Every structure is written in structure tokens, then in C-alpha cells.
């Protein structure tokens, strides 16, 4: 099945590139992991760059769909949903020995300076992630959970960008400390009522 | 002069690796930029990895020495020194078209999962950068500039890790927005009195 093969290539590439980076990963390696014959790559992707750009869409779609389970749970107040989601990530990274980090953040760091096409797509990807949190913070503000004076878009931007930095540090210390520290400062200082 | 040649290789490597990453940069490319004959690399470095590890020391030493000009200026209160230094970086990155980011943050992201030797060295490097800010925040706390309740080590850690995230976003948006947003939240929320 065509759609199945394309998806297998994206899934395998997501895993390897998430860990090793885009430039350090070869197409061969991805196809081998996906158990797909070499020739078929170009049936689905025009080039390695085209694959990388489609991979960004794949990551954003995955994140958006996956995050809904916690972030759209109306039974929990919006701020608590954000905290629960970030704490879920700490457990997730614990299970991955504190490796990987955020694929979008990683690619922004690696490719932002090297490819205008990647940069444009990553900028849009980061914006769409910030949007998710801006909506939740607006909801929290309407419910009186956070100050009316807070610019929710700026706060959401800081929440996401500082999380990306915490993930970089997590990879260096191989422990949850930077993520726990991030949650502490975001909730005790930035988002306090 | 031997020391001169080694330093030229480190300087050239610092520039290229800062922009392109470690794995994506070849030794040949560095030696070409340094205008040093190929054979001489192994007079100074055991391997590319050994070069990368020495490069981390080079970056930390450079940062520590350079930052003293602003961060140890006793004529200015410690919090203002930090703000001045971060604002200096915004101008610096403006002159670089918002490329590069932090070499230590970049390498932590790229190499943290791939090499225990890099990871250990990067962890120490990040700690020594956090130490600089922890000392300044302790000084600010003694002077009553920030709350006595703030854990200055945790706050310094957050200041540095969130800055690294802001630099990643800067590379994606090619503008000062993420850095300006970082400074706003750090000073208005985390370090407010």
C-alpha cells in the first residue's frame, strides 16, 4: 500500500533524525530501518530536503493530535492541563533516558541557519505550537486563573521557547532537573495569578 | 609558531561548527579556512572528537573572558549588568543576521545524545556558565535587588536554559523577538523584587 510505505519512511526517519539530526542521517539508513527498498524513496519524496520538510509537518501533526488528549480535557482547568502535559513529558523522557528532546526545536537549531525552506516551515511549526498554549492561557485568563495583565501570546511564546532550552539542557545532564526547573519557574513566576 | 597554528585551527573550527554543527563539518573544511596544511591537524588533536572537546573549552574560556567586561563592571548593579549583557547579545546577533546561537547550547543539542564524552564536557560547560549568573544573582540578592526567597542557583539555571531556547527560536524567526521576549519575562517575572 502506497500510503503505508510513505508513512513507514516518515516514521523511521522521525525516530532516527530526532536522535541524530538531519544532516547526520542518511536516506539509506532510514530506508533500512523502514524495511523499504532504496528505489521507492523517490516515489514519495523529491529529495532529502523535501523529505525533511514533510517530516516537519509529520511532527507537528503528531504533536497536535497527541497533545489533545491532555490539553483539551475540559474536566481539568487549563493551567492544570498544561502542567499535566509538561509532567507527562518528564515521564516520557525518563523512559527515553533523557534523550531526543523536541524534534522541532532540534531542527530549528540545526537547520535554521542552513536552509531558508526549513526555516520558514519551522517558524510556522513553532507558531502553531505556541498557538495551542496561547489558547489555553487565554482560557485560563478568562477563568481568572492568571493575571489579566499578562499578554497570553508572549507568555505562551516564552513557555515554549524556554521549554526548548530546558530540553537542550536535559540532553546534557541526562536527567529531569532542567524540565522540573522550567515547570517551577513557569508556574511560580510567569503564570502566578 | 605551534601555539599560533593550533589556535588558528580552533578559531576557524569555532566559526564553522558554530554555524553548521559538529557532524556536518569536515576537518578539511576547517583546515582550509585556517589556511593550515592537512597533515598538521594531528600534531595538535588526536581525532575530530578530541578537537570538538577542546573546542568546548575554547568556547567557555572565550565566553568567560569576554563576559567579564560587562558582568564584572562594579559601577553597575548586578541585575543591570545581566540585562546589559543580554541586550548586547541582541545587537551582536542582529549584526550576524540572527544566525549561530550559542555554541555550547548548539553542541548540547547536537551531541548530548551521541557522545558521553561530549555530554560530560558540555554539562560542565553549562554549569560554569550558570555559575557566573548565580554569583551575580547572589550579589543582587545581598543588595536587596531581588527577593530573598529566590533560589539563585535555580533562577540562574532557568535564566541560562531559557536563553538557549530563545536562541533556538531566534534562528527560526530570524529576528530579535524571542530574545526580547526572554529578557521581558526574566526581568518582569522571574527576577522582579
Q: Is the pLDDT of residue B2 over 80?
A: no
The mean of the pLDDT values for chain B is 96
Q: Is the pLDDT of residue B187 over 60?
A: yes
Angle at which helices A177-185 and A152-173 cross, to 10°: 160
- Whether B137 and B164 have beta carbons less than 8 Å apart is answered as no
| A96 lies within 8 A of chain B by CB | no
The CA–CA distances, whole Å, from A114 to A23, A79, A128, B44, B90 equal 10, 37, 22, 29, 20
Whether B126 sits inside 8 A of A172 (CB atoms) is yes
The model's pLDDT over B146-178, given as tens digits with 9 standing for 90+, comes to 999 999 999 999 999 999 999 999 999 999 999
Q: Is the pLDDT of residue A1 over 50?
A: no
Q: Look at residue A38 in the predicted model and tell me its pLDDT.
A: 85
Q: Look at residue B39 in the predicted model and tell me its pLDDT.
A: 86
C-alpha cell at A66: 497527541
Report the residue count for chain B. 193
Q: Look at residue A10 in the predicted model and tell me its pLDDT.
A: 97
| A147 lies within 8 A of chain B by CB | no
H or E element, residue A155: helix A152-173
Q: Is the pLDDT of residue A3 over 60?
A: no
Locus of grid cell 489555553: A136
Give dist(CA B179, CA B173) in Å, integer: 11
User: Chain A partners of B106 at a C-beta cutoff of 8 Å?
Assistant: 109
Q: Look at residue B33 in the predicted model and tell me its pLDDT.
A: 97
The model's pLDDT over A59-100, given as tens digits with 9 standing for 90+, comes to 999 999 999 999 999 999 999 999 999 999 999 999 999 999
The model's pLDDT over B27-70, given as tens digits with 9 standing for 90+, comes to 999 999 999 998 889 999 999 999 999 999 999 999 999 999 99
Confidence band for A39, pLDDT divided at 50, 70 and 90 = confident
Q: Is the pLDDT of residue B193 over 70?
A: no
In terms of Cα–Cα distance, which of A15, A18, A55, A53 is closest to A32?
A: A15
Q: Look at residue A2 in the predicted model and tell me its pLDDT.
A: 54
- Whether B86 and B160 have beta carbons less than 8 Å apart is answered as no
User: Chain B partners of A162 at a C-beta cutoff of 8 Å?
Assistant: 158, 161-162, 165-166, 182, 185
Express as a percent the part of chain B with pLDDT over 70: 98
| A115 lies within 8 A of chain B by CB | no
Give dist(CA A170, CA B5) in Å, integer: 35
| A2 lies within 8 A of chain B by CB | no
Q: Look at residue B192 in the predicted model and tell me its pLDDT.
A: 85
Give dist(CA B78, CA B143) in Å, integer: 9
The model's pLDDT over B110-127, given as tens digits with 9 standing for 90+, comes to 999 999 999 999 999 999
| Domain at B48-190, CATH from 1.10.3720.10, 3.30.420.40, 3.40.50.2300, 1.10.357.10 | 1.10.357.10
Residues 22-51 on B with a CB inside 8 Å of A are 23-24
The model's pLDDT over A100-127, given as tens digits with 9 standing for 90+, comes to 999 999 999 999 999 999 999 999 999 9
Q: Look at residue B26 in the predicted model and tell me its pLDDT.
A: 96
- Whether B162 and A161 have beta carbons less than 8 Å apart is answered as yes
Give dist(CA A161, CA A134) in Å, integer: 13
Domain ranges of chain B: 1-45, 48-190
Q: Is the pLDDT of residue A24 over 50?
A: yes
- Average of per-residue pLDDT across A155-159: 98
Select from B21, B166, B168 the Cβ nearest to the Cβ of A23.
B21
- Average of per-residue pLDDT across A147-163: 97
| A20 lies within 8 A of chain B by CB | yes
Sign for the pseudo-dihedral over CA of B39, B112, B116, B123:
positive
Q: Is the pLDDT of residue A34 over 70?
A: yes
Whether B158 sits inside 8 A of A169 (CB atoms) is no
Residue of chain A nearest B182, judged by CA positions: A158
Q: Is the pLDDT of residue A18 over 50?
A: yes
| B161 lies within 8 A of chain A by CB | yes
Give dist(CA A169, CA B122) in Å, integer: 9
Written out in words, the top-level CATH class of the domain with range A52-190 is mainly alpha
The mean of the pLDDT values for chain A is 96
- Average of per-residue pLDDT across A140-166: 97
Sign for the pseudo-dihedral over CA of A163, A169, A174, A180:
negative
C-alpha cell at A94: 525518563
Are B1-45 and B48-190 equal in CATH topology? no
Q: pTM of the full predicted structure?
A: 0.96
Written out in words, the top-level CATH class of the domain with range B1-45 is mainly alpha
Give dist(CA B135, CA A79) in Å, integer: 33
Amino acid at each position: 500500500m502506497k500510503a503505508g510505505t510513505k508513512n513507514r519512511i516518515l516514521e523511521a526517519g522521525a525516530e532516527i533524525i530526532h536522535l541524530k539530526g538531519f544532516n547526520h542521517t542518511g536516506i539509506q539508513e532510514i530506508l533500512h530501518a523502514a524495511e523499504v527498498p532504496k528505489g521507492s524513496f523517490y516515489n514519495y519524496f523529491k529529495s532529502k530536503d523535501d523529505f525533511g520538510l514533510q517530516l516537519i509537518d509529520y511532527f507537528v501533526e503528531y504533536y497536535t493530535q497527541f497533545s489533545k488528549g491532555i490539553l483539551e480535557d475540559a474536566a481539568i482547568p487549563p493551567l492544570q492541563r498544561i502542567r499535566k502535559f509538561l509532567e507527562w513529558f518528564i515521564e516520557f523522557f525518563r523512559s527515553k533516558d533523557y534523550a531526543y528532546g523536541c524534534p522541532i526545536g532540534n531542527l530549528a537549531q540545526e537547520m535554521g541557519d542552513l536552509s531558508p525552506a526549513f526555516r520558514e516551515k519551522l517558524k510556522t511549526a513553532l507558531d502553531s505550537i505556541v498557538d495551542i498554549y496561547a489558547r489555553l492561557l487565554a482560557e485560563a485568563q478568562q477563568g481568572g486563573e492568571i493575571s489579566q495583565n499578562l499578554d497570553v501570546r508572549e507568555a505562551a511564546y516564552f513557555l515554549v521557547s524556554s521549554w526548548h532550552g530546558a530540553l537542550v539542557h536535559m540532553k546534557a545532564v541526562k536527567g529531569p532537573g532542567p524540565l522540573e526547573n522550567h515547570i517551577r519557574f513557569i508556574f511560580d513566576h510567569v503564570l502566578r495569578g
